[in-house]
Structure 1
Amino acid sequence: MHLRILHRTRYRYHGNIDMAQHMVHLQPANTPSQRVLAHELRIDPEPAARSETTDVFGNERTFFSLQSSHNMLTVEADSLVDTQAPRPLPESPPWRGQTWERVREHFRYRAQAPFDPASEFLFASPYVPRDDAFAAFARPAFKAGRPMLEAARALMERIHTELTYESDSTEVNTPALDALAQGKGVCQDFAHIMLGCLRSLGLPARYVSGYLLTRPPPGKPRLIGADASHAWVSVYVPLPDDATQGGSSGAWFDFDPTNNRCGWGSPGEDYVSLATGRDFSDVSPMRGVIQSGARHTLAVAVTVAPPQEFHAIGGTEGTPSIE
């Protein structure tokens, strides 16, 4: 599936900003189920300095600084991505025999044990503590001897069924425990809750930021800017030692508790992955500091659609060039 993603962020400041520095995670990732065909990041006003780097989690990010007075900032990421349908969750050996208890034991500290990079996603992070409340919510899904992937799917289904998706019910910095206690939130909250549940049981999981192709209601036109960023969870499952001769190979499997969808590589071909981290704080689309006390208003508009639909609905500039 070919998808174009147009993500526009606009700050209007109530006064002039003298200097600003920003970091953005707005470039889609290249993965086994996703290929970036083109990407363009447009910034207005033109930055005085700009650089692209790769962060510790392997995400592409852009830093830029503004060193002249301005009262508006527009950042527009325009990407063209080719996605593939994910493989279904495996249900045969060796994955089938990998129970959640065996996964937990794999990551329990042992002297001289080989390092598994997924272990960095076991611990508490700024937005996701490890807490008994998470473990208690997860336990009905994690019955003794249950295969890890089956248990993760059951947890995803429980979050989807028992929590209510409600826009504006939380803020970007609402603690995951508060969202769990009130029983409602948005996709970021659902992802943080699932992370907290898994990590509180000693199981590694990471946060995935991205986009989801949404369809307008029947008979209604698609609107430019009406979509939004999305978030879901990747769960790591190592292969049993007898399948790897003592190695530590394994795979990440994606679970979206907001939409109750999962798959090996992504939850679906209508998903676009941006970045992965411990939680939202690692992969915020845009953050920064400004030199001024000016207040501001923020407007974010996201469109995810096949490239040809942009023209049909009056989209702006043509697709970014493919080099």
Structure 2
Amino acid sequence: QLDRGEWDRLRSEFLRGESFDFLHPHGFACESEALHAYMAEHDIDALRGRDPLTAVRELNRLIYDSFGYEAGVTRADSPIDDVLKARKGVCQDFAHVMITICRLWGIPARYVSGYLFTDRKHGDRSDPDATHAWVEVFLPSLRWIGLDPTNNTEATERHVACAMGRDYSDVPPSRGVYKGEAESQLAVGVSVRKARAAIADPEFLRVSGTPARNVPAGRRATGNAAYQHQQRLHQMQQQQQ
């Protein structure tokens, strides 16, 4: 929780200049009559009576509660009015709704595109085989913090950020010019899984300058972690030569 003075800090001319791109409507993150109706229905502006951190956390929860997660209801180029009408959508839609409201409040907000290590035990409703999107808001006392309205959580180590922008149109998963047969198709597959921690190898600690006391005892190299360790060690040795 922050003090109410954070609202005043958000109004500073310097901050508003530095965060200009993340304070104004852009692309899919634009206000509309449907958005204002949604905000009035849930008395969302009343949240501004709290400190900004509590307000954005409550907004994150409210969007999670009021929209169902369902793929195919909206498209990649759908305006927020589509999700507001259907009350169903995907992570991209929820992020755009939250970003637009935060900017109306004067809180800089940006769109984050990446992946999520989905954990059904924690209630995640995202598709584990799809890209994910969430929101980062700027609070002067805390800097950028991540919030995931799709899963009603803050961004953690399970969130793998790839790109950030004003909205989805700034950071699509792929963009470019294609030349080839008309019937050709692009297929992409991504999997996200837990990784092993760094390796407590004496030579790695020596080259990297990492104190042994900072590494938990008993850590050993296995699988991909061992390979990554050897690659990192080789790179360090090459740099020293």
Question: TM-score when scaled to structure 2?
Answer: 0.70
Cα distance in 2, alignment partners of residues 180 and 290 from structure 1 = 34
How big is the shift at 1:278?
0.3
Structure 2 matches for 1:109-120, cutoff 5 A?
A: 116-120=17-21
SS of 1:211's partner is: strand
User: Which ranges of structure 1 fall in alignment gaps of 5 or more residues?
Assistant: 1-90, 108-112, 218-225, 240-249, 309-315
Cα distance in 1, alignment partners of residues 82 and 188 from structure 2 = 25
Q: 1:304 to 1:148 in 2, by over 3 A?
A: same
Provide the residue aligned with 1:167 in structure 2. Answer: 71
Cα distance in 1, alignment partners of residues 73 and 58 from structure 2 = 25
The answer to whether residue 129 in structure 2 is matched with residue 227 in structure 1 is: yes
Q: 1:319 to 1:287 in 2, by over 3 A?
A: farther
In the alignment, residue 286 of structure 1 is paired with which amino acid? S
How big is the shift at 1:204?
1.7
Paired residues of 1:209 and 1:273 also in contact (CA < 8 A)? yes
Structure 2 matches for 1:204-283, cutoff 5 A?
A: 204-215=108-119, 227-239=129-141, 251-262=143-154, 267-283=155-171
Q: Per residue, is there more helix in 1 or in 2? A: 2
SS of 1:255's partner is: strand
Provide the residue aligned with 1:124 in structure 2. Answer: 25
Q: 1:103 to 1:142 in 2, by over 3 A?
A: farther
Cα distance in 2, alignment partners of residues 231 and 179 from structure 1 = 15
Q: 1:202 to 1:132 in 2, by over 3 A?
A: farther
How big is the shift at 1:161?
0.4
How big is the shift at 1:298?
3.4
Residue correspondences, number: 196
SS of 1:234's partner is: strand
The answer to whether residue 45 in structure 2 is matched with residue 142 in structure 1 is: yes
Q: Any idea what the Cα deviations from partners look like across 1:79-126, whole Å, max 9, x if unmatched?
A: xxxxxxxxxxxx2xxx332455x366336xxxxx67642222011112
Of 170, 177, 187, which residue of structure 1 is paired with 2:91?
Answer: 187
Paired residues of 1:132 and 1:200 also in contact (CA < 8 A)? no
Q: 1:163 to 1:120 in 2, by over 3 A?
A: same
In the alignment, residue 251 of structure 1 is paired with which amino acid? R
How big is the shift at 1:305?
0.8
Paired residues of 2:10 and 2:139 also in contact (CA < 8 A)? no
Cα distance in 2, alignment partners of residues 141 and 291 from structure 1 = 48
Paired residues of 1:160 and 1:259 also in contact (CA < 8 A)? yes
The answer to whether residue 188 in structure 2 is matched with residue 300 in structure 1 is: yes
Cα distance in 2, alignment partners of residues 268 and 114 from structure 1 = 26
Structure 2 matches for 1:103-114, cutoff 5 A?
A: 105-106=11-12
User: Which ranges of structure 2 fall in alignment gaps of 5 or more residues?
Assistant: 122-127, 197-223, 236-241
Cα distance in 2, alignment partners of residues 141 and 236 from structure 1 = 19
How big is the shift at 1:141?
3.4
In the alignment, residue 268 of structure 1 is paired with which amino acid? T
Cα distance in 1, alignment partners of residues 156 and 150 from structure 2 = 13
SS of 1:231's partner is: strand
Cα distance in 2, alignment partners of residues 170 and 200 from structure 1 = 24
The percentage of counterpart residues that share the same residue type is 38
SS of 1:197's partner is: helix
Paired residues of 1:187 and 1:258 also in contact (CA < 8 A)? yes
How big is the shift at 1:197?
1.7
